[in-house]
Structure 1
Amino acid sequence: MTEFEFSLVLERDPDDVQTEAIAANVPSVTGLEGGGPVSLAHVVIDAADFATAVTSTVQQIEAFGVLVVGLQTDDLISIKEIATRTGRSRESVRLLATGKRGPGGFPSPVSPEPWSLYSWTEVGGWLSEHFPEQDFDLDRQATAADHFLRGRHITRAEPNADAWAQLLSI
């Protein structure tokens, strides 16, 4: 078992009854944060893997009528943030990004210059592949979980929601 820590994005603030029920019955939820633009359930859980940790917690929270619509992540990042997350200098990351250092093939920015932003999921995967001593796999899994949850929420009311759900199995 591994301990995982993450925050789930809720569709809305739980009411008082739901808050009490979650606190009493979902021990992995260490706190609920709301009242602002985003409602969160903070989670610390031991599980066999990250997907199991997220899935079981989502199911437990939703049993009390509170929909989970995402997982809090920071996927869009700058060169400066990549440097911070990897312990490299900004210049080192810039040289990797421009292909002047390293194996080449660094992920392209997802926004244009002068404020280029990169997908941390893509950059972390590239770094894990080319620099295996640094493993960013959990970050990629967190972003994937966020996309799955958001996609599920967006398509929930669609008349063909089951067909959308099958997309994950192909």
Structure 2
Amino acid sequence: MGVHRFGLILDRPPDRSQAALVVDTHPDLDVRPSQQHVTVRRRSSSLAAAVVSAIVDLEAFDLNPVRVRADDWVTLADIGERIGRSREMVRQWSTGQQGPGGFPPPVNPGRDTKFYSWTEVALWHRAHRDFYLPRPDGLLVVANLLLQAKRLVPLVRDKQTLTGLLSPTRKAMASSRHAQGKD
């Protein structure tokens, strides 16, 4: 049993009475009036269990988490800072001017300021670069995507067909095994 720390973003700020009720019954949820960000410090058997239970607890008070703070979107400068390389070197990797190629695409192509998934970039570095990066835990990223999907799924007509996207492809499974060093 460990203590897991993460953040949740609410669809709206709680009022004073909601915030007080939550904090009184769940002191591990830092809920403040007029703030949409909730800091969670929860003891649980796993991070996944902590995330799900915190969301359920907040929903019981009519507070609706819409995002899990995963801090996954990074710029080229952020990547350079995290790995101790220049932004220019990272830019050259991203364009294929340097390195082995195959750098993860930006999450918002065609924009002046591009953002990349840190999880994808870290996996690329583990597979292609000579320096060590810890294997990223994509749990908060996936939890965030699932929470967003839960909120948006009523807008989708053909939900059943889309659930097939949750089944991993052979290529994705092989890539994941390679990035984990299990080949």
- TM-score, normalising length from structure 1? 0.75
1:59 aligned to 56, 59, 70, which one?
Answer: 56
1:14 paired to 2:14: yes
1:57 Cα shift? 1.0
Is the Cα contact below 8 Å between 2:73 and 2:117 reproduced in 1?
Answer: yes
Task: Mark the runs of 5 or more structure 2 residues left unpaired by the alignment.
Answer: 168-183
Alignment check: 8 A CA contact 1:10 1:70 kept: yes
CA distance, structure 2, for counterparts of residue 113 and residue 163 of structure 1? 33
C-alpha contact (below 8 Å) 2:19/2:32 kept by paired residues? no
Partner in structure 1 of residue 78 of structure 2? 81
Distance 1:53 1:103, change over 3 A: farther
Task: Give a deviation string over 1:111-142, Cα, whole Å, max 9, x none.
Answer: 2365333232321332344458312523x322
Task: Report percent identity of matched pairs.
Answer: 30
The residue aligned with 1:32 is 31
In structure 2, relative to structure 1, the CA distance for the partners of 1:112 and 1:136 (3 Å cut) is farther
Pick closer, same or farther for the CA change 1:148–1:4 going to 2, 3 Å. same
CA offset at residue 34 of structure 1?
Answer: 5.2
Query: Using the alignment, how far apart are the partners of 1:105 and 1:159 within structure 2?
Result: 32
- Cα 1:113–1:58 change in 2 (3 A) is closer
Give the distance between the partners of 1:150 and 1:169, measured in 2 at CA.
Answer: 15
Residue 13 of structure 1 deviates from its aligned partner by 1.9
Change (3 A) 1:162 1:114: closer
**1:137 paired residue number:** 136
List alignment gaps of at least 5 residues for structure 1: none
| 1:123 corresponding residue in structure 2 | 121
Q: Does 1:3 align with 2:3?
A: yes
Q: 1:27 to 1:149 in 2, by over 3 A?
A: same
- Deviation, 1:164, is 8.9
Q: Give the number of the structure with larger relative contact order, counting CA–CA contacts within 8 Å between residues 6 or more apart.
A: 1
1:44 is aligned with what amino acid? Answer: R
More deviation, 1-10/145-154: 1-10
